[in-house]
Amino acid sequence: MSEQEIEIRVLPSLDAIDAETWDACACPEAVEGGRPNDPFTTHRFLKALEDSNSVGPGTGWQPQYLQAIMQGQTIGVAPMYAKGHSQGEYIFDHNWAHAYERSGGRYYPKLQIAVPHTPATGRRFLTHPDFAETGLSALVQGAVQLADNNGLSSLHVTFCTEAERDAGADLGLMARTTQQFHWLNDGYADFDAFMATLSSRKRKKMRKERAQAQAFGGSIQTFSGDDLRPEHWDAFWEFYQDTGARKWGTPYLTRRFFRIAQETLRDDMALVLAERDGRYVAGALNFIGAQTLYGRYWGCTEHHPCLHFELCYYQAIDIAINQGLARVEAGAQGEHKLARGYLPTQTHSLHWVNDAGFADAIANYLQAEREAVEEEIEILTEYGPFKRVEIEEQQ
């Protein structure tokens, strides 16, 4: 592939690479037992998806993991999938697919470098620390070459880091800017210290919402690590099925994923459950990184005023403050998060399209979209709940 003779392998399963080799690239900071920056690109998380049939045949997510090898050493890996649809990605290209197929092309299958069903920012080109630049370049070139050689319409790298966006753009990929809502920890001692930064009107509303939620008639508890029990997942599975059926038609994760999670991922998770009259009635699942709490799934069997806000957003802030985490990523979309202290934040993706004319059209669209997103972030930030001085400092 290059003068350095880098070999690119495509792995149909994580069984083809051991966890130590993968994680040396995906989470080198955790090699000696620390917490990974990104729990979603660890071997154990991606393998849980695979072993639970949450990806694989029949799901539209067919594993095609990349491995870059130089002189016998793995210098980079990437979670890549052949996609038969655009579900579970959260950076939407449905309009691109429709336009491509209306013009006579075949949009699917496409290649996707991403964590399935997970709109969380993190490294996508997982390079060994000693070969960061070389490994990234090899993985990008290898993925593009694979798509081109197989006559595929496109390659997409979603929720990559800003640094990867810049590096990918330098290598010829098209950069896309979207947005989410994130909460930032300014070294708050507790939740009251955070609320002290809000305008009086927003502070009063937040206190009212928390009081309404806490009055649902039960208790709220957070479980993590060895405190998690199979019965917690029995309850949460019921919540997850209900939410998944309403949002997507069919839940993305299988029941077996949560069984595997209990065995291999429980230290990476914080499950917030609301219990009433001896049974769990609502829950929110978070994943824990070294610096970030990632809000992922919510569901309930009983509806109580503001309980969703409490479990998903306010409890997440409490966890982040208590654990000294720098931020909370609350998942995709949702301008309602703004009033709960979550500010609009840019997210990034990279794209390669095989057809030159279609690529030009998308490039023009991405430029206009980027300008619109930047303007929207500026406007939304002005409507944020913080005192004016706080907004100016965060900008």
Residues 6+ apart with CB under 8 A from 64: 10, 11, 12, 80, 81, 82, 111, 146
pLDDT at residue 245, as a whole number = 65
Q: Nearest to residue 242, comparing CAs of 305, 296, 285, 299?
A: 299
pLDDT at residue 248, as a whole number = 58
* Rounded Cα–Cα distance for residues 273 and 369 (Å): 38
pTM of the model: 0.95
Q: Nearest to residue 319, comparing CAs of 193, 195, 185?
A: 185
Planar angle of CA 376, 379, 385, nearest 5 degrees: 125
Give me the tens of pLDDT residue by residue for the chain, a chain 395 residues long.
445 799 999 999 999 999 999 999 999 999 888 999 999 999 999 999 999 999 999 999 999 999 999 999 999 999 999 999 999 999 999 999 999 999 999 999 999 999 999 999 999 999 999 999 999 999 999 999 999 999 999 999 999 999 999 999 999 999 999 999 999 999 999 999 999 999 999 999 999 999 999 999 999 999 999 999 999 999 999 999 987 666 656 789 999 999 999 999 999 999 999 999 999 999 999 999 999 999 999 999 999 999 999 999 999 999 999 999 999 999 887 889 999 999 999 999 999 999 999 999 999 999 999 999 999 999 999 888 887 554 445 54
Residues 6+ apart with CB under 8 A from 289: 35, 36, 37, 38, 39, 325
- Within a 10 A sphere around the Cβ of 20, how many other Cβ atoms? 9
Helices (H), the chain: 19-26, 43-51, 94-102, 132-149, 162-170, 191-195, 200-214, 230-247, 255-264, 307-309, 315-323, 356-382, 388-394
Planar angle of CA 161, 24, 124, nearest 5 degrees: 20
* Rounded Cα–Cα distance for residues 94 and 14 (Å): 29
